[in-house]
A and B are shown apart, each in its own frame.
Chain A
Amino acid sequence: AQSVAQPEDQVNVAEGNPLTVKCTYSVSGNPYLFWYVQYPNRGLQFLLKYITGDNLVKGSYGFEAEFNKSQTSFHLKKPSALVSDSALYFCAVRTTGGSYIPTFGRGTSLIVHP
């Protein structure tokens, strides 16, 4: 079985400050980890993914994520938040030897204050 937890329903950050959106996972095989962003009344857009190799993954719009195997985490980060980053963020996991079906977290609402 595989699962994803996003422990924060909402994250508030001031514009220009660094942001972190947390994600932890549980899988029985090797994980493939994904972050998606959803703007209001839109579908999800892919941001970045971890497959293997370098633990720091860079993605779209200046976002990056750090894979930590020992802590089973894949936190999304950005050095300097923008008001336009305000959106809903989803973490997802697939695993080697598992099904085609990814498991999503419940989502974290990021609010960046001017």
Chain B
Amino acid sequence: DVKVTQSSRYLVKRTGEKVFLECVQDMDHENMFWYRQDPGLGLRLIYFSYDVKMKEKGDIPEGYSVSREKKERFSLILESASTNQTSMYLCASSSPRVSAEQFFGPGTRLTVL
């Protein structure tokens, strides 16, 4: 069974902390994505990676960075967490074919106090 796993389901952090969200996929996918999901706003793309060490900014990259040192792992970093980054964070992966569906992780619900 194919899988995308995320390091935490729930996370509580303090304002100003550096936060790492980890995502691992076992499907050998080239493409990996980080989204945040907020009520009424749908999914918003933060960053996208199409290969190891390659990344592109999405719609809302401010306050975030990413790292992809290995094909199976894509990390999202909140350099200095703020309360407006409280959200559900979803990781996804897919093959590079334009017809390919995405596989999503279970999500990390982050609360910044």
B-contacting residues of A (Cβ < 8 Å)? 9, 32, 34, 36, 41-46, 49, 51, 90, 92, 94-96, 98, 100-102, 104-107
Report whether over half of chain B's contact residues are helix, strand or loop; otherwise say mixed: strand
B43 touches A43 (CB 8 A): no
Contacts across chains A and B counted by CB atoms under 8 Å? 58
Interface residues of B (CB under 8 A from A): 4, 31, 33, 40-43, 45, 48, 50, 56, 58, 90, 92, 94, 96, 98-99, 101-107, 109
* A42-B107, A90-B43, A107-B42 known; A100 vs B50 contact (CB < 8 Å): yes
Distance between A23 CB and nearest chain B CB, rounded to angstroms? 12
Structural contact, A32 and B109, CB atoms closer than 8 A: no
Say yes or no: A43 contacts B107, CB within 8 Å: yes
Provide the bound-state CA to CA distance between A49 and B101, in Å. Answer: 8
Let me know if B98 and A104 touch, CB within 8 A.
no
Q: Say which residue of B33, B94, B109 sits within 8 Å of A41 (CB atoms).
A: B109
B101's contact among A34, A41, A95, by CB below 8 Å, is which?
A: A34
Contacting pair A100 B4 (CB below 8 A): no
Q: List 6 A-B contacts (CB under 8 A).
A: A32-B99, A42-B107, A44-B43, A44-B102, A100-B98, A106-B42
Residue on A nearest B58 in the bound complex, by CB: A101
Known contacts: A32-B98, A94-B98, A100-B98. The answer to whether A46 contacts B103 by CB under 8 A is yes
